[in-house]
């Protein structure tokens, strides 16, 4: 079965590896809503960077060349290559995305090309600045980013009695509509880009 014949495959990428992170709770919420909303339109997977345990970029050749030598890189490449689109779940660390997430993007090139991405962020200011940096990074690996974005506030969308603990995710009701719109955009864009993904990739040195 070719990609054109099968349903879309989307991955929710858990972008934080910090012990005590809240990203996994957010990713599970996104996965459950996506599975209920999209049903036959797309398959939903979860890629947890904490489980993948990618080291700091250790490939001797630039990712654009595609000559991966390490087993962890090849495994990551296979996972990303199997998908048509992504929802990146990211907190905001010092006005940007976590280093682990940037590192995971940098490991690959062609596997990202001509796919679509949506974003669910969280933080003191909703994680919006993390996503702005992530959008720029993904543009360089030819990922099309949808407009709609879910931005969760730590003090408005979580119940956190103790900041040393993850607390409980309690998103305000208006986020449901934004998430629904973002997922619809992601499916539409992922499907629209299919013809480009079927063409042989042109190597670009970086």
Residue 201: its pLDDT value, please?
A: 58
User: What pLDDT does 174 receive?
Assistant: 96
Instruction: Return the residue matching tokens 């990739």.
Output: 201
What local confidence, expressed as pLDDT, does residue 199 receive?
80
Q: Is 127 in contact with 101 (CB distance < 8 Å)?
A: no
Question: Which parts of the chain sit beneath pLDDT 50?
Answer: 1-4, 206
Eight-state DSSP code of residue 167? -
Are 31 and 65 spatial neighbours (Cβ–Cβ below 8 Å)? no
C-alpha to C-alpha distance for 42 and 54, rounded to whole angstroms: 27
Q: Which residues contact 146 (CB under 8 A, 6 or more apart)?
A: 116, 117, 118, 182, 185, 186, 189
pLDDT in tens, 38-93: 998 999 999 999 999 999 999 999 999 999 999 999 999 999 999 999 999 999 99
CB 101 within 8 A of CB 88: yes
pTM score: 0.93
pLDDT at residue 161 in the model: 86
What's the token pair of residue 138?
Answer: 């993904």
């Amino acid at each position: 079965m070719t990609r054109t014949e099968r349903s879309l495959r989307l991955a929710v990428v858990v972008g934080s590896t910090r012990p005590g992170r809240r990203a996994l709770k957010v990713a599970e919420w996104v996965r459950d809503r996506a599975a209920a909303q999209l049903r036959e339109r797309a398959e939903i997977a979860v890629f947890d960077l904490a489980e993948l345990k990618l080291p700091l970029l250790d490939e001797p050749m630039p990712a654009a060349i595609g000559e991966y030598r390490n087993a962890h890189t090849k495994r990551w490449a296979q996972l990303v290559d199997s998908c048509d689109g992504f929802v990146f779940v990211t907190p905001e660390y010092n006005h940007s995305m976590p280093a682990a997430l940037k590192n995971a993007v940098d490991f690959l090139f062609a596997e990202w090309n001509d796919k679509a991405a949506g974003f669910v962020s969280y933080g003191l200011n909703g994680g919006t600045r993390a996503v702005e940096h992530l959008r720029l990074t993904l543009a360089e690996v030819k990922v099309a980013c949808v407009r709609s974005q879910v931005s969760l506030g730590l003090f408005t969308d979580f119940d956190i009695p103790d900041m040393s603990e993850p607390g409980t995710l309690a998103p305000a009701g208006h986020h449901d509509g934004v998430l629904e719109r973002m997922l619809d955009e992601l499916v539409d864009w992922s499907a629209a880009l299919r013809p480009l993904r079927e063409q042989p990739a042109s190597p670009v040195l970086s």
